[in-house]
Amino acid sequence: MTIEELGDDDALAVTALWAEVGLTRPWNDPESDYRRSLNGPTSTVLGLREGSVLVGTVMVGHDGHRGWVYYLAVKTDRQRRGHGRQLMTAAEEWLRRQGAVKIQLMVRRDNIAALRFYERIGFEEGDVAVLARWLKT
Ligand SMILES: CC(C)(COP(=O)(O)OP(=O)(O)OC[C@H]1O[C@@H](n2cnc3c(N)ncnc32)[C@H](O)[C@@H]1OP(=O)(O)O)[C@@H](O)C(=O)NCCC(=O)NCCS
C-alpha cells in the first residue's frame, strides 16, 4: 500500500472511484475538479494504491489560512479497514508541510456514515453556516 500524489494518467480511475462511492453530483464535472486540483499550486489529490488498483483518494488544498479536504473516498469493498483514516493522516501531513494550522471539510448532512467516520477520527462540528455563490460568468 502506498499513498502518493496522483497525476494526469489517473483521471479515469479517480473519477470512476468517485462515482462508485456516490461523490459525484450533476452540477460538478469530476474530471475538471480533479485536473483543477492537480494544476493548482497549493492543492493536490493523494491516492492510496494497492498494486495497480486505486483504493482511495483525498483532495487537499491550502487557501493560505486553512487546509481543506474534499473527495475522500475508499473503494466500497475496501471500506472499514482503516484506509479512510490513513488517507486523512496523509492529508494532514501534506497540509502541515504547506503551513496550514487547521484542517476543515464539508459533509452533506444526510451522509450519516461519513459524519460518524469523521467524528471517530477526531473532527468536531463547528457552529458556522457555510455560504456559497457560483463564480461562473
Ligand atoms: C467515509 C469513508 C472514506 C471512510 O473510509 P473507511 O476506510 O471505511 O474508514 P476507516 O476504516 O479508516 O474508519 C476509521 C474509523 O471510523 C469508523 N467508521 C468508518 N465508517 C463508519 C461508519 N459508517 N459508522 C461508524 N463508524 C465508522 C471505523 O470503525 C474506524 O474506527 P476505529 O478506528 O475506532 O476502528 C468511506 O466510507 C467512503 O469512501 N465513503 C463514501 C464516500 C464519502 O462519503 N466520503 C466522505 C465525503 S465528505
Q: What DSSP letter does each residue of 30-54 carry, written as one string? A: HHHHHHHHHHSTTEEEEEEEETTEE
In angstroms, what is the span from residue 117 Cα to ligand 1's centroid?
A: 4
* 8 Å CB contact between 30 and 80: no
Ligand 1 within 6 A of 73 CB? yes
Is 66 near ligand 1, meaning CB less than 6 Å away? no
136 C-alpha to center of ligand 1: Å?
34
Closest ligand 1 atom, residue 69 Cα:
48
Closest approach atom of ligand 1 to CA 112: 23
Segment-wise mean pLDDT, segments of 10 residues, the chain, 137 residues: 97 98 93 97 97 97 97 98 98 97 96 98 96 89
Query: Distance, CA 66 to ligand 1 centroid (Å)?
Result: 23
Q: Write down the pLDDT at residue 122.
A: 98
Is 48 close to ligand 1, i.e. is its CB under 6 Å away? Answer: no
Instruction: Give the pLDDT score at 14.
Output: 98
Q: Is 7 in the pocket of ligand 1 (CB under 6 A)?
A: no
The residue contributing the CA closest to ligand 1 atom 44 is: 114
Question: What is the CA(8)–ligand 1 centre distance, in A?
Answer: 27
Does residue 54 contact residue 47 with C-beta atoms inside 8 Å? yes
pTM: 0.97
Residue 136's pLDDT is what?
80
* Gap between the Cα atoms of 8 and 23, Å rounded: 20
The three three-digit cell numbers of residue 110, written as one number? 444526510
pLDDT of residue 67: 98
